[in-house]
Structure 1
Amino acid sequence: MIQLRYGDRQVLRIRPPAEATVADVGVPRGQPLDDPAAAVAAALADPLDFPPLSRATTPGDRVVLAVDRGVPQLDFVIAGAVHTLLASRVLPEDITLLLAPEENGLRRREPTAALSAEVSAAIRIVEHDPRNREDLTYLAASKDNRPIYIHRQLFDADLVLPISCLRPQRVLGRLGVHGGLFPTFSDEKTRERFQTPGAARLPVQRHRRRDEVDEAAWLLGIQIVLQVVPGARDAVLHVLAGKPEAVAKRGRKLCDAAWLCRLPRRAGLVLASIAGGRQEQTWENFARALSAALTAVDDDGVILLCTDLRCPPGPALQLLASLNDSPELLREIRRARTPDAISASLLVEARERTQVYLLSGLDGETVEGLGVGYIANEDEVDHLCQQFDSCLLLADAHRAGVRVEEDL
């Protein structure tokens, strides 16, 4: 019997044929931290190529912690950063948590839950709304003469500490250490530009977007970042703080060691999962998991995505049902700028070379309307596995990077 974790502590148990070759890539590698808050405090006390945070702040400084989506153990990560600031004589009322908007209105757990009630009450919490022009301010024009808008809290702060997750090479949409800052805290038009399928998948556009991200961070004067290497589900493997270039260099090695999967060959069946609570069960992570699975599966093979996804499909995914295999389909999706546009684009590609099945919290009619096979339970998964002589297990596929040696 083999097992695959998915959803919020759910486990899939299946019995492949005795003669089948089963590979479990075994990511992430490494042991989770027992005390993420202490690890954050230690990282900020001795940052990479940067003075201790206590020497970078003075009493009266306005500090903004700019927090991206998907940071594991967020309440403890925040607690470690806030306690370090308080020890540096920053007042709690001078600290603002600026939170990235959640996809489809999913709520994160309380970010100040690990702080005392007194400190928690004094800290200001703001959730970014890219459609609220009153909260945005003009920063500068980019080298491509595009206006750069950011949240006003970032512009007015004496110190901005971006907090986000590191991702390994070959993960869809990877924008580097500043990707959790920009376009995350920019205006709606900019965010939509980054949501087009081409921005995430075409090499030239990816390069341009990364340059734009780095330029925005430089114009904002970002000198220090806090980055987390996530583990399985809600675990933290590593915490890094320091100068962005130093964190990126060190973080790339740690993240690839934990999450980069090197496969000798593709498999006929890839079981890829998205583990974690409701905040992880998004169409954005669906796209990342599908992208990793597409790299690992044989042509004419099968991908089964094991999730607890419950968010209804957005406008771009709905085109898959309304247009089905129409010649207009790909053109319409390539023009889409919605958060699900990249997922829709990948599904179009996947349907051309593989079969995709989905285990989720969605109903069968919704799933099949996307041109995806509906899996209702573990027995159906087990039946599917009996048809293949090679099977790959890819847990937490939304965080994994995949490289196939036979392609090199």
Structure 2
Amino acid sequence: MRVSVAFRDDRLELDVPDDRLVGSWEGPEPMEVGAFLDRLRRELDGPRGFPPLAQNVVPGDRVVLAVDSEVPELARVVATLAGVLSGAGVESIRAVGLGPIPASQRDDWPASVPLGEHDPGAADPMAMAYLASTGGGRRIYLNRELIEADVVVSVGVLGFDTVLGYRGPWSTLFPGLSNAETQASERKSPAGVGRRGSVLEESAEVSWLLGSLFHVGVLPGRSGAAGVVAGEAGAVREEGIRAIEGAWTFRPEDRADLVIAGVGDPGRPTSLDDLAAGLATAAGLVRRGGKIALLSRAGGPLGPALSRLSGLDDPARGGAKALRGLEGAPDFPAALAVADALAWADIYLLSALDDDTVDDLSMIALGSPEEARRLASVSPSCLVVSRADRTRAGARRA
């Protein structure tokens, strides 16, 4: 059977005999851009559990859009929001992003909406401002732009998340736009992918404390956007979680001896966090002692947790134990996922990391995607998964 695996802007075609192919997955079909923007406008005019966006503002309001840079079609989403707000008489519209906007989005970014990039570790004490204390006693500091705004509209990508269980516009605000200390603390209480935990509930409380009650969640497809939900924060969270579960869950009948997994969005750099998320997905599909071939263009420097893992004689043995004490490190969730995957299966990796770094992590560097095709030709059984970093997967027969 002819199947393919997508990774960032590339695709590998494979011929796998039917009796050896356990299953394949590409993710949900994207919407055509025009249809997606029409759907977004309808959501803004008829949101869930809340008045239309234009009725949430008055002329003279200072509006800040809190945006996640991973939102598909982000520039067009922001332009559409700005159009509705401007039509309601709002003249001051700014955006604060969680990270750099991908190059593919910069040309379409609306000139009328200045964009700032959030730095959770900013040395400038004026970059953050105190909001309030939660019911649990945590003092909440957020990007000052949010605190000083009259109206904050949060825009997030809907997906699974290791710390919150589920990410969306709620996590864009908190912990996304909080300070480094708070983010490190939250990483010590991970809910696990697809599970509701304390950080998810705290993010809802922070949205309420801030008064950011209009949220927009964009569901990614295998490329582009597959859907959008807008309205009252709680309603968007619940509908968003249902959408994530329905669109990005893959349940093949059985595990396979080899899993070939692709990682990365088209047009966006692939991070080591993406790589680790893809490994976690693949580990849930491969038989113990089997092989994972992960195809990516992921690169970048190793953080403190991954560096500790790479410094071990054998990260596949006792790697998770060696990470104790680094639970607050930015790359701790990624390092833990890598350690767990190494303990479960042999990992073959195509990435932008140099071969020595891959070797230090007890993985086998692939020189080209075609080497994964050779692994498939000799494997008794095979699963093929695109967009593994966004997918929650597990075999029905574990």
TM-score normalised by length of structure 1 = 0.88
- d(CA) in 2 for partners of 1:307 and 1:243? 37
Q: Which of 142, 149, 165 is the equivalent residue of 2:141?
A: 149
1:123 match: 113
Higher percent of residues as helix: 1
Q: Give the partner amino acid of 1:228.
A: V
> What is the rounded CA distance, in whole Å, between the counterparts of 2:358 and 2:158 in structure 1?
31
Residue equivalent to 2:382: 391
Amino acid corresponding to residue 302 of structure 1 in structure 2: K
Is the 2:165–2:197 Cα contact (8 Å) retained in structure 1?
no
Residue in 2 aligned with 1:231?
221
The CA deviation at 1:287 is: 2.2
For residue 109 of structure 1, what is the aligned residue in structure 2?
103
Indicate whether 1:242 and 2:231 are aligned. yes
* CA pair 343-308 structure 1, distance change in 2 beyond 3 A: same
SS at match of 2:222: coil
Does residue 264 in structure 1 map to residue 253 in structure 2?
yes
* Pair 1:272–1:172, CA change in 2 (3 A): farther
CA distance in 2: counterparts of 1:176 and 1:126, whole angstroms: 20
**Are 2:48 and 2:235, in contact at CA under 8 Å, matched by a contact in 1?**
yes
Structural RMSD (CA): 2.6
Structure 2 CA distance for partners of 1:145 and 1:254, relative to 1, 3 Å: closer
Correspondence list, 1:111-260, <5 A: 113-114=107-108, 120=111, 122-132=112-122, 133-167=125-159, 173-175=165-167, 177-196=169-188, 199=190, 201=192, 207-233=197-223, 235-260=224-249
- Flag the 1:96–1:218 CA change in 2: closer, same or farther, 3 A: same
| Letter matched to residue 108 of structure 1 | P
Residue 13 (structure 1) shift: 2.3
Tell me if structure 2 keeps the 8 A contact 1:53–1:85.
yes
Question: What are the Cα deviations for residues 274-333 of structure 1, in whole angstroms up to 9, with x where unaligned?
Answer: 132463401121222122112111111211111111223222111122123378753442
Given that 1:175 and 1:213 are in contact with CA atoms closer than 8 Å, whether structure 2 keeps it comes out as: no
Letter in 2 for 1:43: E
Decide whether aligned partners of structure 1 residues 115 and 127 sit closer, same or farther in structure 2, where only a CA change above 3 A counts: closer
Match of 2:325 among 311, 335, 338: 335
Task: Give the CA deviation at 1:334.
Answer: 3.3
Q: In the alignment, is residue 78 of structure 1 matched against residue 78 of structure 2?
A: yes
Q: Which residue of 1 aligns with 2:298?
A: 309
Q: Is the 8 A contact 2:163 2:199 kept in 1?
A: no
Q: Give 1:362's aligned residue.
A: 353
Is contact 2:121–2:179 with CA below 8 Å preserved after alignment?
A: yes
Separation (CA, whole Å) in 2 of partners of 1:203 and 1:46: 28
Distance 1:394 1:32, change over 3 A: farther
Tell me, in whole angstroms, the C-alpha distance in 2 between the residues paired with 1:184 and 1:170.
14
Q: Which amino acid aligns with 1:141?
A: S
AA of the residue aligned to 1:261 = F
Instruction: Give deviations 1:244-303, integer Å, cap 9, x for gaps.
Output: 222223223333332211222212211111132463401121222122112111111211
Unaligned stretches of 5+ residues in structure 2: none
Of all paired residues, the percent bearing the same amino acid is 29
Indicate how the Cα distance of structure 1 residues 145 and 161 shifts in structure 2: closer, same or farther if over 3 A, else same: same
Residues in 2 aligned to 1:328 and 1:145: alpha-carbon distance in whole angstroms = 36
Q: Indicate yes or no: 2:88 matched with 1:96.
A: no
Q: Which residue in 2 is equivalent to 1:2?
A: 3
- 2:81, 2:168 → 1: CA distance? 21
4+ residue runs of structure 1 moved beyond 6 angstroms? 169-172
The unaligned stretches of length 5 or more in structure 1 are none
Q: Does the aligned pair in 2 maintain the 1:266–1:297 contact within 8 Å? A: yes
Give the CA deviation at 1:84: 1.0
The more displaced of 372-381 and 181-190 is: 372-381
Deviations 1:185-237 (A, max 9, x none): 001111122334x5254999x6122222222122112211001001113x111
2:366 to 369, 375, 378: 375
Q: Distance in 2 between matches of 1:129 and 1:293?
A: 32
- Alpha-carbon displacement from aligned partner over 1:90-125 (angstroms, at most 9, x marks no partner): 11xx111011135xxxx5237564366xxx1x4332
TM-score (norm 2): 0.90
Q: Which moved more, 1:210-219 or 1:181-190?
A: 210-219
Change (3 A) 1:403 1:30: farther
For the 8 Å contact 1:68–1:181, the answer to whether it is kept is no
Work out the number of aligned pairs and report it: 393
2: CA distance between counterparts of 1:115 and 1:165?
18
